Amino acid sequence: MSERITLFASVLLPLPVPKSYTYRVPHEWNDLVQIGQRVVVQFGARKIFSGIILDFSDSPPEGYTASYILELMEEHPVVNPRQLNFWNWVSRYYMCHPGEVMAAALPAGLRLQSESIMVLHPEFDPERLPELDEKEELILNELVKRKEMDPRDAAGLLGTKSAMRYIRSLYLKGQLLLKEEVVENYKPRIQDFLTLSQEWDNEDFARQTLSALEKKAPRQAEAIMVILGLGKGEFPKKELVDKYKIDTAATQALVKKGLLILSKKQTDRLKGFEAEPHEFKLSEHQKAADEQIREGFEQGKNVLLYGATGSGKTYLYISRILQALEQGKQALMLVPEVALTEQLVARLSHYFGSEMGVWHNYYSGNERTELYEKVMNGSIRFVIGARSALFAPFTRLGVVVIDEEHENSFKQFEKRPHYHGRDAGIQLAAFHGCQVLAGSATPSYELWNACKEDKWKLVRLPQRYNPMPAPQIELIHSGEAKRKNLKNGPFSKPLLDEMEACLKKGGQIMVYQNRKGFVPFLRCEMCGHSAQCVNCDISLTYYKSLGKQKCTYCGHQQDPMNICPACGHSSVVMQGYGTERLAEELGIAFPQSRIARLDQESIRKKSDFQRILNGFANREIEILVGTQLLSKGLDFKNVGLVAVPDADMLLNIPDFRTHERAFQQIYQVSGRAGRGSSQGKVIIQAAQIQHPVIQAVVDDDYEGLAANEILQRSEYDYPPFSRLIKIILKHKDSRMAEEAAVYFASRVGPALRDRLVGPHPPSVAKVRNYYLQQMLVKLHRSNDNIAKIKEFLWQRGIELQIDKNFRGILVDFDVDPA
């Protein structure tokens, strides 16, 4: 008799802990467990999670006794080896815990959580109850009915915020227990279907039954007639009721009589796409570019497609994706914004139909779980989405396309991992042995320099697909206009005149303002006080539509300041202009025009994007006021004028990337004009009209500005010639944050020497009640062992967080901060 092998599994949990945890595999599962499989395990005294098996060993862990795996969630792995390699790379490169990558990568439906569930005690006897007060009795009676109950339901039953005091009392009186129950986040969508019973195949039965129903139950007869008219098959009950107005009571009666069969089936939430015969012809310039891309891929090089706005880069993306699918491979297309995803989907669905899936955070967790499974089983081979689409379960990628690669929206700012979608996409392609096609009219200096160094292949597409010339650009000096009494507010008279002329011709207008809300802040004219967020070191933005002042960092809201709390004076004035205020001013200037906003506040759910964009595309909206969303590759044929009323705002940000970003935003939004049958116009209003960035936009001189900026960066050793790591320390006590930062700098400074800058508080020194201190590490790309320095910093960060002198300190690393 052979000796039984005891297996131990290394399990990754979706938690911010440095290592995986080891669990014992029950002997009967030895032949069932696999790497990448989802398992249920207990972690800590009471918490239960689903984790992913990373590896196996026949040796028990050192320092603790391994608990048993509680359950296998599926027969097959849900994460493949390439995904695990990619997760590991993201964790190491972006300096975060592997569990944090797992939490970001898996849809909510594939992660489990444990919740405290109340159940009756096994020895509960309703005939022998102890003395209970009224609220305890209410909870217990409800629990007897339900068998199981959530503490939140108990609180709702009592009409209180918490019922834990009464639950604890019942627990101590031996009437109930709290058990940790595994709760699946993902619930399949179950629909009711109706089918005709087999008797309806008999013509005599059908004739007699219908005749009887028409006399006694006409609504039931109508329902049967509708279903007979649709032919044999199963039909969703909801569709029959909503679309054909079938009476619900009638269908229930027919089911009871056995004339209809009711069944429940799991159905997809995802909307399927139908491919339509839709051919496109590449222009001669596009054909030449397509051939160069092919040559670059054959040489094993990634390609940067430097194409003017409106040059038809999307057709070249489609060409590469189709080729990958024809080779039996998969394709991924990353776009920076959900808004751009929605517009592209309509175009791409013609070519890819049901093989295409859309992945972004405005889809529900259930929808993303279904998409994940469809990619895993191969029914969806092309995924388009925002940065999180990188984590789809690809097994054989043939190409990664990154549209508008310059966009800083690809960077994850809010939470760890602070990954960059473009850079992580390049690494993902390398894991799959395929190439990247990245496109932009204003490439990032990182990729532009990579082409100059011959690490990437540069392919130019300078001609617009539409032969119409590029938009005409005009400048308005805002200071001069004000001195001549031609500007009183955000818009000068010459700009309003141009808008009026455009509207009279039937054209549409885009107005770009990179500030949300009505005004950035309210200020007391007497003492200068402005309302600050109670949680963050920042002024509150006033939103007239909400009637509130709101923090852009934590979301805190409060009533607007009418009387100054500092000096008591009533001279509170509005400072600056946000998109809400611009839309209101334009409504006064053009009362007959239909005006809408495209910013994060006007978009609350997935359908809002499509509603606004469709309204503009269908000319139901004549003036669209928006933030950076307007500059992200949107394509409308009737935009006659693009207005930038405050370009100065983009030029005065204290950051080494300011000029690069300002040019990208102004140039990109300018490219929305004149995409139809007539030349468009762009009007830039600024006090600094001689600024190099504005002049580069006017002269269409991306390359000249880039050459000058890259030269300056090489002199000061900024990216792309160095790698930056921002270190952020957080604590709820400002003094503790400062002391911890000084101590941390003393621990790493001697080793890093002149590579370390700081510590110092950032421009916003308090966020969500945490005081911040930051340092910047500047590493040379070729001379420094970057991986070794990252490991050194990571270890010092862990040591600081476990130091009793700095209890509660949080250390965060942002690699390649945007």
For the segment 658-676, what is each residue's pLDDT rounded down to a tens digit? 999 999 999 999 988 887 7
Residue 443 domain-assigned (yes or no) = yes
Based on the domain organization, do 428 and 313 belong to the same domain? yes
Q: What is the pTM of this model?
A: 0.83
Based on the domain organization, do 599 and 653 belong to the same domain? yes
Based on the domain organization, do 292 and 406 belong to the same domain? yes
Cis peptide bond prior to 759, omega within 30° of 0: yes
Expressed as residue numbers, the domain containing 146 is: 114-184
Longest dimension (CA), the chain: 101
Based on the domain organization, do 484 and 515 belong to the same domain? yes
Domains in the chain, number: 5
Residue 87 domain-assigned (yes or no) = no
- CATH number, position 646: 3.40.50.300
Based on the domain organization, do 610 and 734 belong to the same domain? no
Tell me which residues of the chain have a pLDDT lower than 50.
Answer: 1-2
Based on the domain organization, do 369 and 230 belong to the same domain? no
pLDDT at 186: 58
The answer to whether the CB of 681 falls within 8 A of the CB of 472 is yes
Residue 98 domain-assigned (yes or no) = no
Residue 175 domain-assigned (yes or no) = yes
Based on the domain organization, do 490 and 623 belong to the same domain? yes
∠ Cα 92 97 103 (to 5°): 115
Strand partners, 728: 774, 812
Residue 304 domain-assigned (yes or no) = yes
Point out the domain boundary residue: 267, 292, 321. Answer: 267
Based on the domain organization, do 585 and 708 belong to the same domain? yes
Based on the domain organization, do 340 and 234 belong to the same domain? no
Residue 66 domain-assigned (yes or no) = no
Point out the domain boundary residue: 663, 692, 712. Answer: 712
Based on the domain organization, do 639 and 734 belong to the same domain? no
Residue 413 domain-assigned (yes or no) = yes
Q: How far apart are CA 339 and CA 613, in angstroms?
A: 8
Q: How far apart are CA 444 and CA 418, in angstroms?
A: 19
- CATH number, position 745: 3.30.70.600
Based on the domain organization, do 175 and 198 belong to the same domain? no
The answer to whether the CB of 699 falls within 8 A of the CB of 689 is no
The Cα-based distances of 324 to 35, 453, 492, 674 in angstroms read 28, 28, 51, 33
Residue 559 domain-assigned (yes or no) = no
Based on the domain organization, do 376 and 486 belong to the same domain? no
Cis peptide bond prior to 560, omega within 30° of 0: no
Point out the domain boundary residue: 236, 267, 298. Answer: 267
